[in-house]
Amino acid sequence: MKTTINFRVTCDVKEQLEILSEEYDESISKVIRDIIIHNLRRRGLLEEEEREVFYINLSDLDLSEAVTNKNFKDDE
């Protein structure tokens, strides 16, 4: 569940948030949300999300046909 939090920041903080927003191509709201979540996790107030990680050894795959076949289509 999400909730809305309103607060004020100084102009220099707003400028830094705008820079981060442009750098990461995200909204200022998303940047602030990520900062808050990171800070809560770092302080131990919010648990880390479990993530599944898949490791693939690309040397085991033969992609030569897919790369060289000019008739290859994504919808096949």
Annotated domain spans of the chain: 11-68
Torsion from C-alpha of 62, 66, 69, 72, nearest 10 degrees: 150
pTM of the model: 0.59
Phi then psi for 40, rounded to 5 degrees? -65, -40
Q: Which of 7, 66, 10 is nearest to 32 (CA)?
A: 7
pLDDT by residue, tens only, the chain of 76 residues:
788 889 899 999 999 999 999 999 999 999 999 999 999 999 999 988 877 888 878 777 776 766 655 555 555 4
Is residue 61 within 8 A of residue 68, CB to CB? The reply is no
